[in-house]
Amino acid sequence: MTTILVCLSVVIFCGLATLLLLLSTSQGYATKEVCINYQCKYPVLNDSNLKLEIVYQGKYTPGLKELHELSPVTQMAFLGYNDILLLNKNEGKVLRIVNNKLLSQPLLDVNVANKWERGLLGIAISRDAGKVYVFLYYTESKNGDGSDVCPTIVCVSSTEPIQNKLYRYELKNDRLINPKLLFSAPPSNIASRNGGAIVIDAHHNIYLTVGDLKGYANKNTSSMAQNFKNGTFPDGRAGILRFTPDGKAVDHGILGSKYPLNLYYAYGIRNSFGLDFDPVSGKLWDSENGPEFGDEINLVNSGFNSGWLIAQGIWEGRNLSISGRVVHEEPQGLVDFGGKGKYSVPEFVWNNTVGVTALNFLNSDKLGNSYKNGLFVASFNLGEIYHFDLNQDRSALILPNPNSVLAEDQDPNSLSFVKGLGHIVDMQVGPDGDLYVLSRYYSKPTIFKISAINETN
């Protein structure tokens, strides 16, 4: 799969930005006739009882190559009603949007290595004992934004350790202060597959997705967390890690007590941008990105092994989409950490990759009872959002074709909730119970709101 942020660099900033500048109107939209695959002036909602509106869009200044709010955005988080924090990937700025307007000063500006998929990547907010904490995951640089030199996803050796790090900040007087380092991923000269989704459970524990940093078999990256039986001891890559609010392991660890294995909640994960808890069962779910095939939706129980590098999607083998064996049970050769790790087949798979990003449960009835507690999953490549219902015990998705978990075996319109939203990078349920979508829409940071037509604000 063309990785998500690589797709952005190649497609949007190289080709579409020029084309759309010529086609744009003074309102910043393409003309009505233009609908370029994944983004349309009038996106299509497949429910006539719902409406979609833009509540925020970054301004475009002709001739200005880079504006702080137009740097690629990655994620957002709600501080309160009409109060959103927005991450600026390349400049490391945490922006604040209040009443649909961007405040002039960022809450924080950190130095980030930003080539390809590096940058300011993940955010979550927690409230505890009267304090507001903001957790940020980013590729830290000591030498300033964009100090990394990466002609391809393989970067030139740096004079500083380029690492993805998780920090906790305290929000006070419109500033993020008192940074506390919770976790440092292994240094890497690869600017790909960093992960970045963060969620917080009811006990204030933090869950973070860390990609495998493009770790293939060599002495430095062949980790047991990537299902190399004779691999190196896990170093924090290729998993969903779990921390206390102070960055410690929760209890004694699921897979083992030695650091950082004791941080792993799940492993065998290539890359992930979507993570959320089912509001009914309390179970964790994720979306995962394959290479040119095999994007997944998974139910993530503690100790979950997603199978990478042995299996991706429902195929076993390196050329999985062509000659791989279809896996109905556990693939051969997986690492199980003495029986503590458990593999399970994905709940849904795209053979032709869509670039899955955000994954959210709608813990609200604001869009109607038919959507309450349903699962929504976004596509970066196609600009679509898919809606899934779950079975009674919340252990599986209800699919139009129950005999297959493959997207290609389903009615192509049966799961589509909305189309034409551009490159979707995040979704959140707002404090008002409506669904908010963050997209790089016609190269602009754009927040959509999906609500009921008869809703009164």
CATH of the domain at 255: 2.120.10.30
Tokens coding 443 = 């190269």
Number of domains in the chain: 1
Q: Is residue 437 part of a domain?
A: no
Q: Which of 177, 176, 150, 179 is nearest to 167 (CA)?
A: 179
Q: How confident is the model at residue 456 (pLDDT cuts 50, 70, 90)?
A: low
Tens of pLDDT, residue by residue over 266-295, are: 999 999 999 999 999 999 999 999 998 899
* Residue 322: pLDDT band with limits 50, 70, 90: low
Residue 415 in any domain: the answer is no
CB 315 within 8 A of CB 294: yes
Instruction: For residue 137, tell me if it sits in a domain.
Output: yes
> In the predicted model, is pLDDT for residue 197 greater than 60?
yes
Please state the φ and ψ torsions of residue 406, each to the nearest 5 degrees: -80, 135
Task: At 168, list the tokens.
Answer: 């906790």
Q: Quick check: is 190 in a domain?
A: yes
Asked if residue 392 is part of any domain, the answer here is yes
Domain assignment present for residue 63? The answer is: yes
pLDDT at 12 over 60: no
Q: What is the pLDDT of residue 94?
A: 96
Residue 143 lies in a domain: yes
Residue 132: strand pairing partners: 127
Q: Per the domain annotation, does 74 fall within a domain?
A: yes
d(CA 8, CA 115): 12
pLDDT in tens, 208-222: 999 999 865 455 668
Find the domain containing 133 and state its range.
4-410+421-428+442-452
The two beta strands, 435-441 and 73-80, are unpaired
Give the pLDDT confidence of 371-404 residue by residue, as tens digits: 999 999 999 999 999 999 999 999 999 999 999 9
Distance CA 45, CA 419 (A): 7
pTM (2 d.p.): 0.90
Distance, in Å, from the CA atom of 431 to the CA atom of 341, rounded to the nearest integer, reads 36
Q: In this structure, are residues 379 and 297 in contact, taking their beta carbons and an 8 Å threshold? A: no
Query: Under a CB-based contact definition with an 8 Å cutoff, are residues 439 and 425 in contact?
Result: yes
